[in-house]
Structure 1
């Protein structure tokens, strides 16, 4: 026996004296496994994490070793301590169809789930092996089983990973394409606490307020998001930009206009939000409704502009739109050609517009696609929308007060302006084009607008569309306030030439000079702008905070 061990060592193999059958199988040393089994070693002895020799043989796709272990009495139902995976799970996730066949023939249960509820079929779908999935389906694998964490089925997994062959197989065997993943109702998480008068709920921190600069009271994430999840297979494919999967699903008779039970988004909207313009065009050409909006009121038209001019963020955000054959203007035109309403309005602030850390100082509730294009100073999109019937005068909607919804613009209002009721007009497209939010924080770090600058959009609104240069937003800011907060002397001169009043005071008592004079920490003063405004008669209260 010593000679055998020495020969194995010299050959670089696994020594039978070095460990268990599982160790030998991990090293894929069939000779050592055979030697250990002949010595009476326990074929089912597991390593620290519960991996047995059969687990290793299955994960390595070694049919010979698998059959040897089964013949030696390996337990095909043994599970790992971490994850509760069987050898069948291992073989399935690696796409080893012959090993799967051997395990099933030996009594492996195709419907035994992992600790998270994942089935062998789901893991096979992840591997991309249609042959493996076929073998599992043929022995009774539950096609519509959902895992426990997110409620995803094998069809959803295949769709998200662009496994077209698997999708066709699963659909042909009766996979439910209407099934949706789990929905998390974030509003419900905090409802009990709020009913008791507590503004913040303990459940997962879901009730924490989000301080959004420029929004006159903090939102809670549960207010902004509402519900998450509820994605069908087509939603997953659209989100990931899985073009082959989308074609397989649509070709298999899946409804392109199915609505998510979470935020009411369609596959078309999900594709656009994630920048998959080419895929969105395919869905439109196959019957997707361009007017179906999400629960927040985000329409495909609005989403197209929103992803194109997404704010600069340190957080992950869609970049697929930069790699499409079809431009955002192409998609915008296609949507409008197919009857999209250019005047559809967003119902509340779009939670993903700031990628979890909003610095814009903008509440886009009530905004139209034209308003969003104005905020991006995108004259080309603005003109296209007007040509297709967009109303360039529609403002956002005032939803909240600085001091709370129960006290609309009362008390410390120093502007002398009439009260704007809840639900009344908010910021105009001209306010948006002039760059709102800069006096409130870090908008300049995130605001993404057209390379030509903001003035062309302002000129278009004023000269061709008749926008009022003295209009005020709910906080009493004029367009000059917005320009001054950015130190834009060129725009101020232009606005003054068109009749703008530089002496206006907002509801917080700030003059146009005050917002140019470092009104908050880390927002620098603009001496040139201050000097210009002083020469035009604006009052300097010398209230620099950042000086």
Structure 2
């Protein structure tokens, strides 16, 4: 290579290095304004603005000086930046705008300043949340009022406000002509959100504005696709479950637990009941809520009379959500009596399994389709509740879709082992009560199971003796080929329960059980027809 070529190469490399140094210096010079705003150095911001810097320069993540001023709620610095030409709509790489940040802070003055600087209230952040929705969520009524003057989707903001219990914001949005009937994708209206949260003031405001107290949830059909016949909205509880044993598949939470889960056709009264918001449920009843709406597949009385919490959904495992049931016994009884006093029909039969939380998501009870509130109370071994329902006209002999009566439900049949919170003493008391009111102890389900299977699986042997004494057949063979003796001997259709109830098996033999009948379940809890 010639000397001239070498000299040209060295000169080129030197020039490139010089350009890089100058460029880096220029970049550092530009970022001083952003850094000053980031560090809350108002004096430095003023000094730099006197030199007429590039006011909209962005840092590594795209943040401008104005966005940092909004972050710190520094109104004076923001005013200086806007006068110097700062772009009120400049978003960072995460699509956060100064207006969204001001709404996050709940700063009405800052929102007003940015809107006057032509900030766009319809520009969403990366999650799709608009500034108005953010202001509604954080609860600044003044900020919402200013945003609501702009053309935007304030009916969505109304849902946010109700979900966050910001009743003053709800009022502001109503005054701004928010759509009171609008539904979220999962089907909730603002009143459903207020019911879910127990927000009495928002509910009162919405009803006063003309919202129908019995408005139904309407989930987007796309939300429930792939979830089977129960599927509009999020999953309604468990997948299928074995009759005597644990569930075949764990279900999603339900009805608002960890989100907006709900059934299509749910009324605000049903939502309030499932969420354990008893005072609001009573308020809705007093304002004309219909307790007999069955559009969701079950009524508030079905839920209120049951025990949906279970051994897998308790504080030990981190589940403290009221979706597990109504933990306050007095409130529970008050609600049931109020529902009945307002005309709730104790003989309506559920068309779906109500949701639950933990395990199967049904409180362990897998045969609720066709169940009346009385059957559900029997399943919970709740004698006091059954007495209340009987006094209100409940028919104790109505059965579920599988022909299971209240007595079979009380014995633990069709309940997930390991999820039950009642014990044999409660079950015995419930069965004795049901025998006294004439419920048949010899009943057999469509799967050909009788009352002996539940206690046989669980080792509830005093109950087993009582039922044999009352005539339950010790040699019934279910459609999987399993007998009560096989169930007690550890060869039945369940997983995770009492693997071998020798004392129960011996009781059955003593009373004439034939150990040669039937055959063992070959797949544990998979011996069930769908």
Structure-1-length-normalised TM-score = 0.75
- Decide which of 89, 96, 120 is 2:107's aligned counterpart: 96
**TM-superposition CA deviations, 1:344-387 (whole Å, max 9, x none):** 11112335466665683623111111111011001111111111
Residue 304 of structure 2: aligned partner? 304
Aligned residue in 1 for 2:180: 177
* Cross-structure match for 1:534: 509
Number of residues of Structure 1 aligned to a counterpart in Structure 2: 443
Map of 1:121 onto structure 2: 132
CA deviations over 1:272-303 (Å, ceiling 9, x no partner): 111111111111111111111233x2101002
Structure 1 residues 397 and 234: CA distance shift in structure 2, 3 A = same
Deviation at 1:91, TM superposition (A): 0.6
- Pick 1 or 2: higher relative contact order, CA cutoff 8 A, min separation 6: 2
| Distance in 2 between residues matched to 1:494 and 1:345, nearest whole Å | 29
CA distance in 1, matches of 2:293, 2:365: 28
Question: Distance in 2 between the 1:459 and 1:281 partners?
Answer: 33
Within 1, Cα distance between the matches of 2:365 and 2:212? Answer: 39
- SS of equivalent residue, structure 2 residue 418: helix
Worse overlay, 309-318 or 68-77: 309-318
Kindly report which structure 2 residues correspond to 1:71-90, keeping only aligned pairs within 5 A, or say none.
71-82=83-94, 84-90=95-101
Gaps of 5+ in 2: 1-27, 220-263, 525-530
* Distance in 2 separating the partners of 1:258 and 1:358: 25
Match for residue 65 of structure 1 among 77, 98, 111: 77
Q: SS at the partner of 1:20?
A: helix
Deviation sequence 1:465-495 (CA, Å, 0-9, x none): 2111111112111101222111111111212
Residue in structure 2 matched with residue 253 of structure 1 by the alignment: 210
Whole-angstrom distance in 1 between the partners of 2:413 and 2:385: 19
1:445 aligns with 2:418: yes
Give unmatched runs, 5+ long, in structure 1.
Answer: 1-15, 146-152, 183-228, 399-425
Provide the rounded CA distance (Å) in 1 between the counterparts of 2:330 and 2:162.
23
RMSD: 2.6
How far apart, CA to CA, are the structure 2 residues paired with 1:489 and 1:325?
29
Following superposition, the deviation at residue 437 of structure 1 comes to 3.3
Q: Deviations over 1:148-167 (max 9, x none)?
A: xxxxx010000000001111
Residue number in structure 2 paired with 1:269? 270
Whether contact under 8 Å (1:278, 1:324) holds in the other structure is no
Contact 1:55–1:90, Cα closer than 8 Å, also in 2: yes
Which of 481, 505, 509 is the aligned partner of 1:509?
481
1:44 to 43, 56, 65: 56
Partner of 1:34: 46
Q: Out of 263-272 and 305-314, give the one that drifted further.
A: 305-314
Query: Using the alignment, how far apart are the partners of 1:134 and 1:253 within structure 2?
Result: 21
| SS of equivalent residue, structure 1 residue 327 | helix
Q: Measure how far apart 1:134 and its partner are.
A: 1.6
- 1:241 — aligned with what? 198
Q: What CA distance in whole angstroms lies between the structure 2 residues aligned with 1:477 and 1:517?
A: 16
Name the residue aligned to 1:185: none
In the alignment, structure 1 residue 21 sits paired with structure 2 residue 24: no
Q: SS of the counterpart of 2:118? A: coil
Taking the aligned partners of 1:18 and 1:45, their CA distance within structure 2 comes to 7
SS at match of 1:329: helix
Scaled by the length of structure 2, the TM-score of the pair is 0.78
Q: Deviations over 1:214-254 (max 9, x none)?
A: xxxxxxxxxxxxxxx11100001111222332222223332
Partner of residue 375 from structure 2, selected from 344, 349, 371: 371
The CA deviation string for residues 309-349 of structure 1, in whole angstroms up to 9 with x for no partner, is: 55633585732765769511110110001101111111123
Q: For 2:496 and 2:128, how far apart are their aligned partners in 1?
A: 50
Contact 1:516 1:529 in 2 (8 A): yes
Q: Which has the larger radius of gyration?
A: 2
